[in-house]
Amino acid sequence: MNRKHVAVCGALSAIGLGWMALAQPNPRAGQNSGQARLYNTAKQKLMEGKQIFGITVSSPDPNIYCAVANAGYDFTWIEMQHSPLNWEEVAHMIYACRGASAMPFVRVPDATESDIQKATDIGAIGIIVPTVDTVEKAEAAVKWSRYPPQGRRSQGSGQYGQLWGNDYRRTANDNMFVGIMIETPIGVDNVEKIASVPGIDMIFAASTDLGNFSGHRQGDPEYEAMVKRIHDVVLAHGVKLGGPQAWKDKPGFTFFQAPGETALLRLGAQVNLGIAPAPGGRAPARPGVAPIEGTEK
C-alpha cells in the first residue's frame, strides 16, 4: 500500500469518525443507571421545581437561531402558529445548532398527527399546543407526541437520531415535553378535565388571548378570575403552570415564554449604544402585566 493510498484512507476514516461524533448523544446528557437517559435539560429543570424561560423564535435564519439558543435560555419557543416558518426551515435551524444549551420546543399550529409528527421527527423535544378548549384536544397532544404504549406516534425516519442519539426510540417518551395552552373562556371552564389528562407536563395561561376571547383586560376582575382558576386547578393536579415572562413573580408559575428575537435585537442595540433600556426591553403598563402580542412597535 503506497503512501498516497494510506493518506486517502486516513482522511476517509477521519471523516467517518467526525460524522459518528455528530450522531452521538448530546455530550451534556448523563447516563442514569436503570433509567432512560435524560437529555431534555429544560424538562428536567422544570420537574425539579425550578423556573425555566424560553425565547420566542420566528425568524428562519440559522445564525439568529443559534445566537438565541446559546444565549442562556432553557428552551427555544419556535413559533409555527403565528409565523410563516415551514418545516424545512425549522429542521435546518434545529440541526444547524445541535448541541445548543436551549432545548428545541415548537408551538405547533394544532394538535394534529401531521403537525406533531413533523415537529418530533425533525428533533423537537417539546411540543406546545395552542387554544386547547377540550379534553379531546389535550389527549391528542399527548397521543401524537409519544411512542406506544404511552401514545400513538409513528416511528419513521427523521433527524432526531443525529440530534439525540441511537437510543432515541427508547428514550424519547421520557424526554418529550408536552405543554398545552388555555386561551379561551371555554378552556377555562374545562380546565379541571383538561388538567386531568395523563401526560400533560405544563398548562399555559395565555395572557393575550384570554383577553382577546373574553373581552376583558389584565387587571379586570373577570380576567383575573380566569387566571386564578387556571392557577388553582393546574397546581392542584400536580401539573406545571406557564405564562408570559412578565408573570415570573406570580406565585406558582414556573414555565415562561420570553419575547422574540426582534425584542432582543432592540435591547442589545440599546446596551451597545449605552442607552438605559427599560426592564425586559419594554416597560409594561403596570408591573407584572404582560404586553399584548401584536401591539409591539
Q: What is the number of other CB atoms lying within 10 angstroms of the CB of residue 279?
A: 9
CATH of the domain at 206: 3.20.20.60
Q: pLDDT tens digits, residue range 279-295? A: 554 444 466 787 776 66
Residue 205 lies in a domain: yes
Residue at grid coordinates 405547533: 108
Beta strands in the chain (DSSP E): 52-57, 75-79, 103-107, 126-129, 177-182, 202-205, 240-244, 253-260
Q: pLDDT tens digits, residue range 231-268? A: 999 999 999 999 999 999 999 999 999 999 988 888 88
Residue 294 is given by DSSP the state T
Residue 257 lies in a domain: yes
Which pTM does this prediction carry? 0.83
Number of structural domains found in the chain: 1
Residue 214 lies in a domain: yes
Query: Sign of dihedral through CA atoms 90, 95, 97, 102?
Result: positive
- Output the pLDDT for position 165: 96
User: Cβ(166)–Cβ(23) under 8 Å?
Assistant: yes
Section 172-185 average pLDDT: 98
- Alpha carbon distance 206, 198 (integer Å): 21
Residue 6 lies in a domain: no
Residue 178 lies in a domain: yes
